[in-house]
Amino acid sequence: MTEQPPEPPQNPYQPYTGPGYGPTGAPYWTPDHPEAQMVLILGILGMAVCQVIAPFAWVKGARVKKEIDASGGRLGGRSQAQIGYVLGIVGSIMMIVSLVFVVFYIGIVVVAVGSSV
Domain residue spans of the chain: 36-116
Query: What does the pLDDT look like over 8-45, one tens digit per residue?
Result: 556 666 555 555 556 555 556 778 899 999 999 999 99
| CA-CA-CA-CA dihedral for 50, 51, 52, 55, to nearest 10 | 140
Q: Which residues are paired to 27 by β-bridges?
A: 21
Is the pTM for the entire model greater than 0.85? no
Contact at 8 Å (CB) between 56 and 42? Answer: yes
pLDDT at position 8 is: 59
Higher-confidence position of 2 and 25: 2
